[in-house]
Amino acid sequence: MAFSSSISNHNILIKALMFLLVVNFLYLLQTTSAVTSSDSNSHFSRFSRHQSSPSSRTKEGFLASVQESKNHALLARSLAFNLTLSHRTLQTHTVDPIHDCLELLDDTLDMLSRIHADNDDEDVHTWLSAALTNQDTCEQSLQEKSNSYKHGPAMDFVARNLTGLLTNSLDLFVSVKSKHGRLLSEQNSIPTFVTSSEQRRLLEASVEELKVDAVVAADGSGTHKTVGEALLATSLASSTGGRTVIHMKAGTYHENINIPTKQKNVMLVGDGKGITVIVGSRSNRGGWTTYKTATVAAMGEGFIARDITFVNNAGPQSEQAVALRVGADKSVVYRCSVVGYQDSLYTHSKRQFYRETDIYGTVDFIFGNSVVVFQACNIVARKPLSGQKNFVTAQGRTDPGQNTGISIQNCKITAESMTYLGRPWKAYSRTVVMQSFLGGSIDPSGWSPWSGGFGLKSLYYGEYGNTGPGSSVSGRVKWTGYHSALTVTEAEKFTVAGFIGGNMWLPSTGVSFDSGLIK
């Protein structure tokens, strides 16, 4: 009886806190609406009248808009946190979509808190684009669980309003940058904790040459038996902000790994593809949000993976089932293998680079809204379910101001059955395939609609210099947004140097990369 009374009091307290949060949010929203609707007081109106002079006033207006977004993100996080308290259960795993929103809001706050007048413009552009992606993912998770989660509409309302504020910040940033060049500053973005010798050796060095912080071995011969234990121990022990290297010995590890935003510069090193294997089986059909199906998820900046196979073995009938999800800025996946069916690789957000990595799947098996380049990768569309079609990519750009997209360069794309290069998951989907070998199972039309005419005028799909039996563009789609023969100048925008600014940060990893077009 006392226990029941305690639970009842707890629920009353949570409801009261939620009520206060919502009232507070509505007050801030009303204040914001009043301010932004008045030409004489709006940050954006003041900016619009002074576009000809990119002075400190424009910087202040932009930074004020970011602060406004940050304030609402803090409020949204408070609401999400209290909703998670009110929805705790005795389930062995949590399928609550609010947990997705909470994690994503933490990531957004981390990025917004780092925006100041001295930032490099490319960093800011990436962070604002990713913050919008986080909001879209939160809303997607809420939609996926709309039938089973009663508090979804409240969180969705808050999320959508935060999306509007972030969109304003991004629009302001892009408009100033396009008219006047750089809004903030330009800095060298190579991490200060990486020494010159480490730059040369980090990804090319043997395991014996690396300074390893933890060794994972299922047989007990290492410092830990699971990757999760090693990540927890190193997060508690690390206080320098330097690189954390975890060696995963040969073996198969059945676990789900999450590297959060706060755990930066983690490097997972295996003993080779098919030798060190991490396996999970979460799926959307199994009750998880797509975001939480990932066998391995990495959000901490500077994430590196080498010589590992990531697997989601839920099977093709389980619908969305992610093997690897990456939302870590300046991340590198090198000599790895990603194996699944639908949604195998979730390149969620921020700057990413994949080199000499094998990717297997069926439906939309490379998807997300990062700004990512794939080089020298082997991309294989597996045999789908009967009556199912294969799509290599489903890029998720939701706003024309986002710097996001998928670039596939110097890769090999083959398939076990007829396959499309991609389809537009979101309205401004952007994907380029260039200087790659396309197998004979690539559908002659190349690209597929998502639904009717959705996104066909606003998307950006392009091809340049491809070879192989599937590379002919004579039968390709005739959409407004499709470009069958990019010029050299257009293609250069999607190289490592032009698209992800890789010349500034990839040298710190030691990974091999082609900076521009391959001659």
DSSP state of 383: P
Whether the CB-CB separation of 255 and 230 falls below 8 Å is answered with no
Q: From CA 212, how far away is CA 513, in angstroms rounded?
A: 25
Q: From CA 261, how far away is CA 255, in angstroms rounded?
A: 20
Question: Percentages helix, strand, coil for the chain, rounded to the nearest 5?
Answer: 35, 20, 45
Whether the CB-CB separation of 333 and 358 falls below 8 Å is answered with no
Order across the sheet with 437-438: list the strands.
Answer: 251-254, 276-280, 309-312, 337-339, 358-361, 378-381, 412-415, 437-438
**Nearest in space to 69 (alpha carbons), one of 168, 155, 142, 152:** 168
Residue 364 catalytic? yes
**Nearest in space to 151 (alpha carbons), one of 24, 290, 22:** 22
Q: From CA 175, how far away is CA 105, in angstroms rounded?
A: 25
Q: From CA 184, how far away is CA 126, in angstroms rounded?
A: 14
DSSP state of 273: T
Q: Exactly one of 96, 364, 399, 514 is catalytic; which is it?
A: 364
Q: From CA 71, how far away is CA 92, in angstroms rounded?
A: 34
- Who's near 158: CB < 8 A, 6+ residues apart? 25, 72, 75, 76, 79
Return the structure tokens found at 91. Answer: 């389930």
Return the structure tokens found at 26. Answer: 């509505």
Return the structure tokens found at 446. Answer: 């190349």
Whether the CB-CB separation of 407 and 499 falls below 8 Å is answered with yes
Evaluated on CA atoms 303, 307, 310, 316, the torsion sign reads positive
**Catalytic residue numbers?**
364
